[in-house]
Amino acid sequence: MELVPIATDAAPAAIGPYSQAIRAGGWLHCSGQIALAPGGAELVGAGDVAAEARQALTNLRAVLEAGGAGLDRVVKATVYLVDMADFPRVNAVYEEFFADHRPARACVAVAALPKGARVEVDAVAALAS
């Protein structure tokens, strides 16, 4: 099976030794996205978890589209939160992006995220056949 790295300028560049996503067979595995603006080094809406979630999901959508998928093809997402008290606000933003499509999801509390982010989201999507 060929592994194809995905990169797009419509989402922030990887901040470490990893790809924005990898296409493998009929699947697209997307790395976690935080609230960095494409081409930027600072968090969008830093400290406002809803604004951070919106930017992280916008970034995720851009990576999915670059890899030949979309939010409607996501089969599993994982949301990482520094503070579980932020769950209701992040969940409301998540619902804006996944209004009619409900992929499987996990939400995990973490001690910290890169760049001081409060939320990160990754996903696995099925590619169209």
In the numeric block, which tokens belong to residue 7? 């990169």
CA 44 to chain centre: 14
**Residue 30 known to be catalytic:** no
Cβ(71)–Cβ(97) under 8 Å?
Answer: yes
CA atoms of 127 and 66, how far apart (whole Å):
12
CA atoms of 89 and 87, how far apart (whole Å):
6
Q: Residues 24, 37, 75, 107: which is the catalytic one?
A: 107
Q: Catalytic residue numbers?
A: 107
